[in-house]
Amino acid sequence: MARVVVVGSVARDQVVRVGEPLRVGAHLQGGQEVLRLGGGGANTAVALAHAGEAVSLVAAVGSDPLADELLAELATTGVDVGPVVRIAGSSTRSLVIVDPTGERTIVNLTRARESEPPQRLARLAADCVYVRSRVAGLAPLLVGHGLVVAHIPPIEDGLYPAQVLVCSASDLSAEVLADPLAAGRRVAGTALRWVVVTLGRDGVEAFGVDGERLRQPAPAVSCTDSTGAGDAFAAGLVYGLARGLSMARVLPVAVRWGAAKVGCDGSVLSREAVAALVRAPD
């Protein structure tokens, strides 16, 4: 069992399925609204907890009744919610629109954000820290935590002392895609070992500072709901890295986790889905 700290968000996803792909000026028919647990931090933390890891979530909720609901739901998954703080205002809510192909569009309606860096992060023991947050000032709080995996963008000088940076090609400029390592070194400095770029249906590519370059295709899977696929990929990546697997062995694991999420409904991988993934050979 690895001790993992996830820094990110927890949200209430309001999901609406539409009968046609989104397009400008369209008038679309939506299906029944579904409410479910979401947020990038929570999605990854819950998947890792389902895998048997000791997971703590550093996040914020609001001062509204929704905060109580979110914390209660998280607690049932085994995630340690002790580091989740309450702040004045609304908890995070997101509108998730899923089209007939399973692709999702997310509209953030309200956000619960801390105004200062979460100092409690420095006091949490961890074998690995995964950062899925745009909160500034995290760098000094990550020192001494061992393995740090962080999601980008943003791309800012000295943002995270991370050994592994993860990003989606769809979030990056052409300049960054042309040289992911250069961008990664800006963010992580000399700590950097890998930049991992997810490519959607085309799989993933990883760039090592020693010149190694790895490519892992994605398995063919029917897309039911792409919500949280990147978060599930990150969970698989952290799961493998925390066990000391090489990047060459980790990438197939992480891609399977991401593909499993695409193939099922929900924002979070279910306990049953994670159990099957854990049983699969590396």
Helices (H), the chain: 40-50, 65-76, 139-142, 174-178, 180-188, 229-242, 247-262, 271-279
Per-residue confidence (pLDDT) for residue 26, from 0 to 100: 81
Pair type for strands 213-216 and 204-208: antiparallel
Per-residue confidence (pLDDT) for residue 155, from 0 to 100: 93
In this structure, what are the phi and psi dihedrals at residue 28, rounded to the nearest 5 degrees? -105, 150
Residue 150 near residue 241, CB atoms below 8 Å: no
User: Cα separation of 49 and 33, whole Å?
Assistant: 27
User: Cα separation of 160 and 169, whole Å?
Assistant: 19
pTM score, whole prediction: 0.95
Per-residue confidence (pLDDT) for residue 98, from 0 to 100: 92
Per-residue confidence (pLDDT) for residue 144, from 0 to 100: 83
User: Cα separation of 38 and 10, whole Å?
Assistant: 6
Residue 128 near residue 147, CB atoms below 8 Å: yes
Domain boundaries, the chain: 3-10+39-90+115-279
Which residues of the chain are under the pLDDT cut of 70? 282
- Closest to 39 measured CA to CA, from 66, 76, 64, 70: 70
DSSP letter (8 states) at residue 91: P
Per-residue confidence (pLDDT) for residue 24, from 0 to 100: 87
Helices (H), 51-152: 65-76, 139-142
Per-residue confidence (pLDDT) for residue 75, from 0 to 100: 95
Spatial CB neighbours of 266, under 8 Å, sequence gap ≥ 6: 36, 225, 227, 228
Does the structural domain 3-10+39-90+115-279 have CATH classification 3.90.230.10?
Answer: no
Residue 233 near residue 192, CB atoms below 8 Å: no
pLDDT of 248-272, one tens digit each? 999 999 999 999 999 999 999 999 9
User: Cα separation of 236 and 242, whole Å?
Assistant: 10
